[in-house]
């Protein structure tokens, strides 16, 4: 039931709201592996993140999403890597942050209502179902590929 409601919310939100703003975190462990999540309501693997809620700063949203989805705590100030427009969702923007000093003192139990599974992966050996947008962001971050303004 929850996955159907979550999927419906992702389809209805752009119609009911004005511009949406989201955050994603490219979180790397000490071995250079990146943390990815697989949602219970969407196919594919993603950088953890989500929407910035009313009254919340971008930084607060990022830290909240990282804690909720992965139990991730950041030991350094995350660096804003890029701002992307999502052409698939009218007026949707995503801010991507990078942090290379992270830890997971209290990882959530998986699967749960939102996240089916999560883990750290070598950038050169991502899960097959990693989304194209996630692969593009990691190529920009890790391999120095040219940045695109589009998600």
**Residues with catalytic roles:** 117
- How many residues would you count in the chain? 151
Q: Note the maximum CA span of the chain.
A: 42
Which one, of 91, 86, 93, lies nearest residue 132 by Cα? 86
Residue 148 burial (10 A CB sphere; 0-12, 13-18, 19+): middle
d(CA 108, CA 51): 20
For 13, phi then psi, to 5°, come to -55, -45
């Amino acid at each position: 039931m929850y996955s159907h409601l979550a999927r419906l919310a992702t389809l209805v939100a752009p119609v009911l709201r004005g511009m949406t703003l989201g955050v994603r975190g490219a979180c790397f462990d000490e071995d250079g592996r990146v943390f990815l999540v697989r949602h219970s309501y969407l196919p594919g693997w993603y950088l953890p993140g989500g929407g910035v809620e009313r009254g919340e700063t971008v930084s607060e949203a990022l830290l909240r999403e990282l804690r909720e989805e992965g139990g991730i705590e950041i030991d350094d100030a995350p660096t804003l890597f890029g701002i992307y427009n999502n052409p698939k969702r009218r007026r949707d923007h995503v801010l991507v942050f990078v942090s290379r000093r992270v830890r997971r003192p209290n990882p959530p139990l998986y699967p749960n209502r939102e996240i089916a599974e999560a883990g750290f992966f070598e950038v050169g050996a991502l899960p097959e179902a990693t989304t194209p947008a996630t692969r593009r962001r990691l190529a920009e971050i890790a391999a120095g590929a040219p940045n695109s303004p589009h998600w």
